[in-house]
Amino acid sequence: MVRPLLAAFAAVALVACGGGSETTEPTLAGSRVRVIHLLPDGPVVDLRINGALPEPMRAVAFGGAPGYQSTPARATVITAQLSPSTTPDLPLPILLTSRIDLQPRTDYTFVLSGRAAPDATPEESPGFTPYIDDNSAPPAGTTRVRVVHGISDGGPVDVYALPAGTTTVPVAATPLVAGMSFRSARVATPTAGSYALFVTRVGERTTVLLRQDNVTLTAGTGVTVLARGFTRPGTPLAQQPALQIVSDR
């Protein structure tokens, strides 16, 4: 179970990258927010925006990625509570909160990541990371790909996008994005097509943390590729490293 962080505000930093999940845009005076649950050993949670609990954000389990919710552009608190909850404060404790000043006509993705176990290191402590989403059209013939590193014990990683069916990373291969630390995000715009995606230890192309084949990237679209799970021995199958791909455009 997540360690209670009663009324504690997580320190967060914005990362400007691509994102989103619907084709509509935020209103002139408003913003849109979505939250993705990437805490592998975390509980099922209710996700509140300034105390409100939209139906899609109830009972969100690991891997859950509810769509955007419209909200006024103002100081905003995102809260995770054990589900089911009935009010912003009771009957169940607040697990995690994050405060941010939302900007008008801007989309945001909050990723809940880390490790909930009591022996988690400070770097692995569960928390929200907010990302500013770029939902504009990518260059012709390409896909906007944002990669988010959500593997708390994975160390720095490189991510490769190689032709579909590739089983190993060639010596001469260039990473799609390189040198990613936990909770960082990078954006690339590869040519549309079918790929095998590899996540490796940084600079170690033969140390593959995970591979996913036949990933189709469609021209004119955008996706967020989330690397998630734990690499430590004995990790349950459902929590082992995997890629989760969320449509943005």
pLDDT band at 98 (very low <50, low <70, confident <90, very high): confident
pLDDT band at 93 (very low <50, low <70, confident <90, very high): low
Identify the bridge partners of residue 198 per DSSP, sorted by sequence position.
Answer: 160, 211
Q: How far is CA 200 from the centre of its chain?
A: 18
Task: State the virtual CA torsion across 24, 27, 28, 31 in degrees, nearest 10.
Answer: -100
Return the pLDDT at 9: 27
Percent of the chain with pLDDT over 70: 86
Residues present in the chain in total:
249
Count of Cβ atoms closer than 10 Å to residue 122 Cβ? 5
Give 209's DSSP letter. E
CA–CA separation, 95 and 84 (whole Å):
13
Indicate the SS3 state at residue 8.
coil
Tokens representing residue 201 in the block: 């230890």
Return the pLDDT at 89: 66
Cβ-contact 162, 176 below 8 angstroms: no
Q: Does the pLDDT at position 8 exceed 50?
A: no
State the pTM of this model. 0.87
Cβ-contact 197, 160 below 8 angstroms: yes
Nearest CA-CA partner of 225 in 193, 188, 200 = 188
Q: Does the pLDDT at position 4 exceed 50?
A: no
Q: What is the mean pLDDT of residues 76-91?
A: 83
Percent of the chain with pLDDT over 90: 80
Identify the bridge partners of residue 30 per DSSP, sorted by sequence position.
Answer: 72
Q: How far apart are the first and last CA of the chain?
A: 34
CA–CA separation, 3 and 14 (whole Å):
24
Average pLDDT of every residue of the chain = 88
Cβ-contact 82, 4 below 8 angstroms: no
Summarize pLDDT for 162-202 with one digit per residue, the tens. 999 999 999 999 999 999 999 999 999 999 999 999 999 99
Domains by residue range for the chain, with CATH: 9-134 (2.60.40), 144-247 (2.60.40)
CA–CA separation, 37 and 220 (whole Å):
27
Cβ-contact 44, 83 below 8 angstroms: yes
Q: Does the pLDDT at position 208 exceed 90?
A: yes
Find the DSSP H helices in the chain.
none
Task: State the virtual CA torsion across 82, 88, 89, 90 in degrees, nearest 10.
Answer: -60
CA–CA separation, 47 and 62 (whole Å):
12
Cβ-contact 5, 94 below 8 angstroms: yes
